[in-house]
Amino acid sequence: MDIALPAGPVWIAADLHLGPDTPATIEAFLAFLEAAPEDAASLLLPGDIFDAWIGDDVIHIAPEWLAGVLSGLQHAAARLPIWIGRGNRDFLISEKLAAATGTHLLPDSARLQTQAGPVLLSHGDEYCLDDIAYQQFRTMVRNPQWQAQFLSKSIPERLAMAQEARAGSIQANSQKSMEIMDVNQDAIEAAFRSTGLSIMVHGHTHRPARHAIEVDGRHCERWVLPDWDCDHADPIRGGWLAIEEDGLVFYDLEQPEKP
């Protein structure tokens, strides 16, 4: 899907993992939302905005932390266009949340038209093909029938299931190698070939970097977004990628000036 963005800088951030136990990260994100309209023409959040999302109906009974995040999104979206996407933690985000916050819903994979040229954007988990157990889980929870069955349960039931799944994921990931949980190189090259693009941006792996690769003799770049953690990490982590007229550049939460 092509997304034509307004002329000007594009800011992209992912993997914030906001929740009731991340007050400092929420504070940093709200400050980020307040600052974005001053320097960016558009803002994209491709997945894992929330550490868990059990359905858009929670916005009607939002606890204080969530109400603050939704209000921040709504306020920022009145000043610049914002796109929100689904990640592996918040795959149940739908158009209802976008409508409630005045944002737009991203497809799983988007072709961005930017002043630096076309850019392929996604959350990134679809490229982690070596993690077979996760891909099986991803297929299951993206199934409309599974989602309908899950959403038919009460909010307390869904919360309990999400907590159980999260605990199981932590346990399973502790036994996996970092290589298995990273992207599969063949999948990355296939994406470059099928789209014909030469710049890719994704999150999910929590390994911020710029990777230069050759695909069929063509120079390509894969930019990986950082995750955010201002509550449990020392030093804190977080930042965003800006697509500007002269190229792409990372900005860090602790050093937000241009490097």
Task: Please name each of the domains of the chain with its CATH number.
Answer: 2-123+198-252 (3.60.21.50)
Nearest CA-CA partner of 198 in 217, 225, 226: 217
pLDDT digits (tens, 9 = 90+) for 143-156: 999 999 999 999 99
Binding residues: 15, 17, 48, 88-89, 123, 131, 169, 173, 176, 204, 206
What is the sign, positive or negative, of the torsion defined by CA atoms of 23, 54, 59, 99?
positive
Looking at the predicted structure, is the pLDDT value of residue 73 above 90? yes
**Rounded mean pLDDT of 71-92?**
97
pLDDT digits (tens, 9 = 90+) for 12-25: 999 999 999 999 99
The pTM for the full model equals: 0.93
Looking at the predicted structure, is the pLDDT value of residue 185 above 90? yes
Give the pLDDT band of residue 128 (cuts 50, 70, 90): very high
pLDDT of residue 80: 97
Binding residues for substrate: 88-89, 131, 169, 173, 176, 204
- For the chain, the average pLDDT equals 92
Give the pLDDT band of residue 168 (cuts 50, 70, 90): confident
Looking at the predicted structure, is the pLDDT value of residue 255 above 90? no
pLDDT digits (tens, 9 = 90+) for 217-243: 999 999 999 999 999 999 999 999 999
**CA–CA dist 92, 82 (Å, integer):** 18
**Rounded mean pLDDT of 176-199?**
88
**CA–CA dist 125, 183 (Å, integer):** 8
3-state secondary structure 170-193: HHHHCCCCCCCCCCCHHHHHHHHH
Binding residues for Mn(2+): 15, 17, 48, 88, 123, 204, 206
